[in-house]
Structure 1
Amino acid sequence: MGVPRALSLAPVSPPVRWPDQTLDVAALRAAGHRPVPFRDVVLKVHQRCNLACDYCYVYTMADQSWRDRPLIMEPATWQATAARMAEHAAAHSLPAMRLVLHGGEPLLAGLERLSRLVADFRTAFDGDCRLDVQIQTNAVLLDTELLDFFVRENIQVGVSLDGTAADNDRHRRRADGRGSFAEVDRALRLLGRPPYRDVFAGLLCTVDPSTEPVAAYEALLAYHPTEIDLLIPHANWSAPPERDAADWLISVFDRWYGAPRRETGIRLFEDVIALVLGAPSRSEQVGLSPVAVAVVESDGAIEQVDSLKSSYPGACGTGLTVFDDPLDAALDHPGIVARQIGVDALCATCQACPVQRVCGGGHYAHRYRPGRGFLNPTVYCADMLKLIGHISNRVDTDLRRRIRPA
């Protein structure tokens, strides 16, 4: 009669997860792989946020490690980070590195602490490498005192906003349900004035495919950003998206691309166009360019890009800290190596895909499948094919029109 499956005593091998458990970094090194040094370090200066956005990968998704980390970064931690960054820059003769102040909400750290932190980083970078500083904020706490500091220190300010007031307040709310649009609108109007305009780095918008796309885009455009980042909502094969995103993105692309003059940059679209024409990308959403970003958490842990928190607990971890390890040590972590080896990090489906060089497998976090890890197509595969095909066709049509013999 046999043993029922649920009661079987046969040993079950745990699933093997790629790349952490199966990517042979030593073999890659022996075959000639040379890591790309980090250019950006994202610093988690504060672990909490004054908003409760319902799609946040830090607080609402798989990894909840923020609960066990220090509320705020201590001076010893950022000083160790500054020393590691300067060490890394010197070791690789880098002309510049970028420090991104992040959270949570980094403005919760307060002006005095941020001022001390930036001063310590500037002191550490007293050699040949330039330190560029940026802050990514929800802008609720942004005021003239902070902006004066950002202007003095040439700190570029990126702001998160999701379109119209109704679009934004559907998701970007306080814990008590109050929307954030009015406060962000006030801050952006302030940021748009001289002399603050010079430190306005642009807007980050998380796409909601249920909203009216052109209205959302034009609401962002009203603040005259130099650049807009459109972020496809984080999802993967264990938590797939509720709706497709391609039609929303295509509507915005057509409005943006068809404008009589360039109104703003949209990184995703510009990267797809560049890749279609044979150039590299700047974004981790598309293309095969090596990712050169490390994250330092409030406790000093050196981690991979924090969007991986959307996949499974511990997905960002490297086991390294700024107190004990140089940044170079993270360059041999399988998860970071996988983001730097291009087509060799793609699954068989993606390697056979005609748009693989442009898509690049899509956003790495969106490839996760339980038991298999990240060696899969993006869960947005159909969306990426549709979007890339549409952009490619429009660019191809324009090029043919412009080079057509008289």
Structure 2
Amino acid sequence: MRRTITGGPALPAPRGPAAPTAPAVLAAQARHARHAPWPYARLDVPALRAAGHHPHPVRQFVLKTHSRCNLACTYCYVYEMADQSWRTRPAAMAPATALRAADRIAEHAAAHGLPRVDLVLHGGEPLLAAPAELAAPVDAVRAALARRSPGTRVTASVQTNATLLTRGRIAALAAAGIRIGVSLDGGLPAHNARRVDHAGRPGFGAAARGLRLLARHPAAYAGVLCVADVAQDPVETYESLLAFAPPAIGLLLPLANWSAPPPGPPGPATATPYGDWLVAVFERWWHEPARRTRIRIFEEVIALLLGLPAATESLGLAPATTAVVETDGSIEQADSLKSAYEGAAATGMTLDTHSFDDLLDHPGFAARQLGREALAADCRSCPLVEVCGGGHYPHRYREGEGFHQPSVYCADLQTLIRHIARAVHTAATNRRPAS
């Protein structure tokens, strides 16, 4: 029986005629249905739309400007996990592809009256391209929007491993209005033992030099992304990152799922190793006399506990609004899905054959816009669902069943959210004036 999910907030969207179902789209759907019956075999998107559940437009566009990397990190989801599609793609996005992407983005922004679009230049390692080449897609999007949707503004950032950052590159990117985010596993060499180049040499020294340069340009510095590693001391990891003066830190859970569980701690097993790790960092961050940086996961949990919107795809019930454009012009879903199975991010759509409106009706994309209704029964009845939101979508995957389970980090998330809730409640109580 096909499952139809209805309801949810309506956002009217202009809809053109549906694109023909290309062989590549059919092939991708068949692959998805084998690995993930939910949503690909059970979510009836036409019935969903007929029942009045309108899609939310894409607002963030990840442009895979370079599909190769100068590092060979042993845990990388692009190169070392289930999906190996990078092998068949061009190393760099051609100028014609960037121009086509810009036109499609402007088309989408104009159709939906978007006040802003966010561009993320991603890889691989984007800085394998020269700064002028890296800025070209951003310039193309700005030019296309000026023609087709002049009320839409652009934010742009690049995510890099920092090993190729120089004063000149930082200045050039800043001049182009591109902020720089860095991926790092911690601020000490020992934290980054798995971040090595293709000859097995450590990449931390070059990354640290790049980060020290970036810290001198705070206007261009977007922050640091760090994957939680329960083999490392959490407070040491946090404080070591502060040495690079990041304006924000994104603490991420490792990309794992029920069929490929996350690594456990090196010592005795605990019920919630990742929750405990994050709680230790929260305690140090929360009780500091002066806030030295933002930590996004903590701020997002606090906002959601207070009933405020939080801009995240890993927590809460807000709809997913991110699309990826690969170097060959393929339109894909969030590439974190590549940790699940071969082709998990694929749609079979390309810039030449489909618009971003077409992506909105893709079952995988539609499922991530359904909020509570797309979650497992245990999640829907959980008192923390408004905050947790079922957890990050790739973390819900189980081979042969799909993405209709609670997060593989469910217990960890409960530990973290309940701890933060108690801290917020205590702080509010202490501030309350005596009667």
Q: TM-score, normalised by structure 1?
A: 0.94
SS at match of 1:136: strand
Aligned to 1:339: 368
Any idea what the Cα deviations from partners look like across 1:265-322, whole Å, max 9, x if unmatched? Answer: 1110101111111112212221111111000001111000000000011111112111
Deviation at 1:99? Answer: 1.0
Alpha-carbon RMSD: 1.5
Structure 2: 5+ residue stretches without partners: 1-32, 265-272
Q: Is the 8 A contact 2:316 2:388 kept in 1?
A: yes
Tell me if 1:31 matches 2:54.
no
Aligned to 2:319: 290
Aligned to 1:387: 416
SS at match of 1:164: coil
Deviation at 1:14? Answer: 6.3
Tell me if 1:172 matches 2:195.
yes
Match of 2:307 among 264, 268, 278: 278
Aligned to 1:5: none
Deviation at 1:367? Answer: 0.3
Tell me if 1:255 matches 2:284.
yes
Q: Is the 8 A contact 1:150 1:156 kept in 2?
A: yes
SS at match of 2:128: helix
Equivalent position amino acid for 1:379 in 2: V
Deviation at 1:325? Answer: 1.1
Aligned to 2:41: 21
CA distance in 2, matches of 1:106, 1:210: 29
Aligned to 1:309: 338
Q: Is the 8 A contact 1:168 1:180 kept in 2?
A: no
CA distance in 2, matches of 1:291, 1:261: 33
Distance change in 2, residues 1:167/1:289 (3 Å): farther
Aligned to 1:221: 242
CA distance in 2, matches of 1:35, 1:115: 31
Distance change in 2, residues 1:140/1:154 (3 Å): same
Q: Aligned pair count?
A: 392
Q: Is the 8 A contact 1:137 1:157 kept in 2?
A: yes
Q: Is the 8 A contact 1:267 1:283 kept in 2?
A: no
SS at match of 1:228: strand
Structure 1: 5+ residue stretches without partners: 1-12
Any idea what the Cα deviations from partners look like across 1:178-223, whole Å, max 9, x if unmatched? Answer: 2111111111111122xx2211000111111110111110111122
CA distance in 2, matches of 1:216, 1:14: 40
Match of 2:391 among 355, 358, 362: 362
CA distance in 1, matches of 2:134, 2:191: 27
Aligned to 1:299: 328
Equivalent position amino acid for 1:51 in 2: L
Alignment of 1:312-323 (within 5 A): 312-323=341-352
Q: Is the 8 A contact 2:36 2:403 kept in 1?
A: no
Q: TM-score, normalised by structure 2?
A: 0.87
Deviation at 1:123? Answer: 1.8
Aligned to 1:182: 205
Aligned to 1:150: 173
Deviation at 1:404? Answer: 5.3
Deviation at 1:261? Answer: 1.6
Deviation at 1:405? Answer: 2.8
Q: Is the 8 A contact 2:62 2:121 kept in 1?
A: yes
CA distance in 2, matches of 1:164, 1:191: 14
Tell me if 1:91 matches 2:111.
yes
CA distance in 2, matches of 1:235, 1:34: 31
Deviation at 1:15? Answer: 7.3
CA distance in 1, matches of 2:335, 2:134: 21
